[in-house]
Structure 1
């Protein structure tokens, strides 16, 4: 029976939910906007036929943006929203020091004397380096090197200062003031102010706040279940269309298709719209910590898809997940990009680090880094409804395949996950950022 394919390709349910989310405005973790997004997602789950739709609340460290600036003496040289913004969970305060441009901010770039310096690094990593170096790793290299402040310069043109959180699970507020600057501002700082005494000034507040996970179920009421997830929150400077309104809209569309195919599901499907992903995977970490790992057969986590037309499935070396992706690609004669390396970011990771098979589902793009993600340019106009529908069809087939009683999804041991992280050169960075789970 293929009617569900045509129904999905002509459905507006997912796209309408995407529009609903971006129209909320600010969906920052712990904000009223995030709560509105969670409520709309909970209701969307219920409206497509999922049962027991609810929001499971939890407390988080809140963070609210004020003004930020970089100054030379009393003169502001970067202070408006097109040039300089605070990174979420930066501490409030001023820090003054010699300005040092560290270019890409590779680990070896922090070996020079940086005590008391204001350091700037790029948001990207050169192709000559075999792994992408995350913002938080660069930040904590700067902290360890004794830097006074951290400047994160976008590599994407368009006067787009990037956002992205700092802090750790144990210390949610970072150690030193941190700001993002546009590519153009970063270039100007490097050309004019290398060696100057610059001041980074961050104004913000850090109230306690409440977030939550939107949860519902489809299929038979089995003890074992699959998790189909996304994150609902987004950074406060943008619509969060790609990251991650698209992922949440996609799982709503997949849920609509699965509700019409419940008889094809041998295992329960747990729908989860996680909260507080952008500030440290808080919602998924709490959920995964409370879950019985023997009952979670696999996780299909969708984050930042639709912008790239080709669906990308990072399967983290789980053979059963790789095979399922290949089956779906062959069945539909449609390209799916498969990757086996570990991706220790997004809401699949709290499960995968426990050995639970999990995908990071995204859209394949040509360049490293986030592109327009984590900037004010992450807007609805850059996405196409056709891509959402195509990807929803493929993911519906993937979930039904994994839910088959004859499909086995073997877990990995802690030692296997740790060894893979070390082999891929990711262990050192994760230890620096406080993310090493072993």
Structure 2
């Protein structure tokens, strides 16, 4: 009762502030959001789902055989859970295999290194390659380097990722992973090896997608574990002439068909209007894809199921979208936007869970600035679940981040990510990293969010845009 009274008071406070829109929450809506929270906090469904996905499917790299196993798993689970509508939409995805990746210091001291190929990397020659390394603190310092200093060498970008609750340190370093091979090649480098984009001290390398550019020669790209990056620095202190042996056997194999898997709770009075909650079904192939993004799949599915089981459905349709191939370039998100372009004007709001399973502490929106206080009033029952009402700076999540430019309002349910980049894109992304109680709190937040948005009468468009609304978490992982 204490939480109920507090959320009601918060709602009434915001209602008093905003007179231009109908923000009065009806008591039945408040009661239902409280019931959703209580149900979520006692339900094992989300944990059961992510356990099933990681055990019965495991790693599910886009375009691989396991990717299609995951699609079948998702479709079967959504049907068994009794959603009003379950379907899938074909998506063409790039196919890439990791192969082997090995590296060692040849001189001045012989040392093995732990590395992994970056997603999309080409292979080295079959015999590998050997070259001296040249170290740079950042991608920017590489761009400023003299070509003659880099030519014929292996570039080593040694940018350390800072630990933050919001994960903002990732945004500062990930450019070296995604664009480093382009800059290194333009300077004549034979290959690039980066310090892993991670906050851990485990001897595990973090993979992730990298990119090439038309007209720029492709070079092999890898990441080394943080302890091995430290080792390289200690060797460089003793001798600046460090020679590395590098072998990578990654290959690209064209394209294959995967699917966005979609389930719907049909709206009661506005069924053609959509509240989208999503996650991505694919994962990298190093771990079992538990936090990235098995947790998100479980969160939004369980949240949708709670709404599906209500005695009366909300006004708008709640659409659960499990996106394909996020890790290799937001492929499923872009395909969804294209396939649904004629109904995007009917999307009331969208949000994606793709930052692990840490507790949600804040909700941010990307709506018309004049609607922010009104939508805060509507969202006020979420305060009772530990969620504060935040800013107007949301991106919505990686796949969903493509929607605001189409005019679709989005929300970001901010998770505590202080340890997310310890495990992200590593063999350590496994089920034991998920706290079942934190997962339940996420389900409660998404269920409340989706239900309240499906009932909301606040006009959110046209959304506010501008440089001042840059998201805290970068959009592509």
Question: How does the TM-score come out when normalised to structure 1?
Answer: 0.84
2: CA distance, partners of 1:176 / 1:344: 33
Q: CA deviation at 1:313?
A: 3.5
- Of the three residues 417, 438, 457, the one matched with 1:365 is 417
Please say if residues 90 and 178 of structure 1, whose CA atoms lie closer than 8 Å, have aligned partners that are also in contact: yes
Please say if residues 316 and 359 of structure 1, whose CA atoms lie closer than 8 Å, have aligned partners that are also in contact: yes
Please say if residues 317 and 340 of structure 1, whose CA atoms lie closer than 8 Å, have aligned partners that are also in contact: yes
Alignment of 1:331-370 (within 5 A): 331-336=382-387, 338=390, 340-341=392-393, 343=395, 346-366=398-418, 370=421
Q: CA deviation at 1:303?
A: 0.7
How many positions carry a matched residue from both structures? 418
**1:101 alignment partner in structure 2:** 135
**Greater per-residue helix proportion:** 2
**1:151 alignment partner in structure 2:** 193
Question: How does the TM-score come out when normalised to structure 2?
Answer: 0.77
**Residue 376 in structure 1 maps to residue 412 in structure 2:** no
Superposed CA offset, 1:116-174 (max 9, x none) = 43222246445899963423144444344443322121342010101101126x87x99
Alpha-carbon RMSD: 3.4
1: CA distance, partners of 2:195 / 2:366: 30
**2:61 alignment partner in structure 1:** 28
2: CA distance, partners of 1:97 / 1:339: 49
Worse-superposed segment, 148-157 or 327-336 = 327-336
**Residue 184 in structure 1 maps to residue 227 in structure 2:** yes
2: CA distance, partners of 1:408 / 1:265: 17
Superposed CA offset, 1:326-359 (max 9, x none) = 7535554343254544659611111123332123
- What SS is found at the alignment partner of 1:62? strand
Please say if residues 325 and 398 of structure 1, whose CA atoms lie closer than 8 Å, have aligned partners that are also in contact: no
Please say if residues 142 and 183 of structure 2, whose CA atoms lie closer than 8 Å, have aligned partners that are also in contact: no
Tell me: CA distance 1:257–1:5, structure 2 relative to 1, closer, same or farther (3 Å).
same
- What SS is found at the alignment partner of 1:256? helix
Q: CA deviation at 1:285?
A: 0.7
Worse-superposed segment, 196-205 or 335-344 = 335-344
- What SS is found at the alignment partner of 1:410? coil
Tell me: CA distance 1:25–1:175, structure 2 relative to 1, closer, same or farther (3 Å).
same
Tell me: CA distance 1:147–1:346, structure 2 relative to 1, closer, same or farther (3 Å).
farther
Worse-superposed segment, 255-264 or 293-302 = 255-264
Q: CA deviation at 1:218?
A: 0.8
**1:49 alignment partner in structure 2:** 82
Worse-superposed segment, 120-129 or 289-298 = 120-129
**1:5 alignment partner in structure 2:** 37
1: CA distance, partners of 2:273 / 2:445: 23
Q: CA deviation at 1:312?
A: 4.4
Alignment of 1:26-425 (within 5 A): 26-72=59-105, 77-78=111-112, 83-94=114-125, 96-103=130-137, 105-113=138-146, 114-122=150-158, 124-125=160-161, 132-134=172-174, 135-154=177-196, 155-167=199-211, 175-192=218-235, 194-207=240-253, 208-220=255-267, 222-261=271-310, 263-291=312-340, 292=342, 293-306=344-357, 308-316=358-366, 319=369, 320=371, 324=375, 327-328=378-379, 331-336=382-387, 338=390, 340-341=392-393, 343=395, 346-366=398-418, 370-412=421-463, 416-417=465-466, 419-420=467-468
Could you list the runs of 5+ residues in structure 2 that have no partner in the other structure?
Answer: 1-30
Please say if residues 355 and 417 of structure 2, whose CA atoms lie closer than 8 Å, have aligned partners that are also in contact: no
Superposed CA offset, 1:184-231 (max 9, x none) = 111222322543343432102212322211112112262221211000
Tell me: CA distance 1:61–1:183, structure 2 relative to 1, closer, same or farther (3 Å).
same
- What SS is found at the alignment partner of 1:57? strand
Please say if residues 88 and 165 of structure 1, whose CA atoms lie closer than 8 Å, have aligned partners that are also in contact: yes
- What SS is found at the alignment partner of 1:195? coil
2: CA distance, partners of 1:9 / 1:362: 18
Please say if residues 101 and 120 of structure 1, whose CA atoms lie closer than 8 Å, have aligned partners that are also in contact: yes
1: CA distance, partners of 2:159 / 2:440: 31
Q: CA deviation at 1:61?
A: 1.4
Tell me: CA distance 1:314–1:255, structure 2 relative to 1, closer, same or farther (3 Å).
same
Tell me: CA distance 1:219–1:196, structure 2 relative to 1, closer, same or farther (3 Å).
same
- What SS is found at the alignment partner of 2:450? helix
Could you list the runs of 5+ residues in structure 1 that have no partner in the other structure?
Answer: none
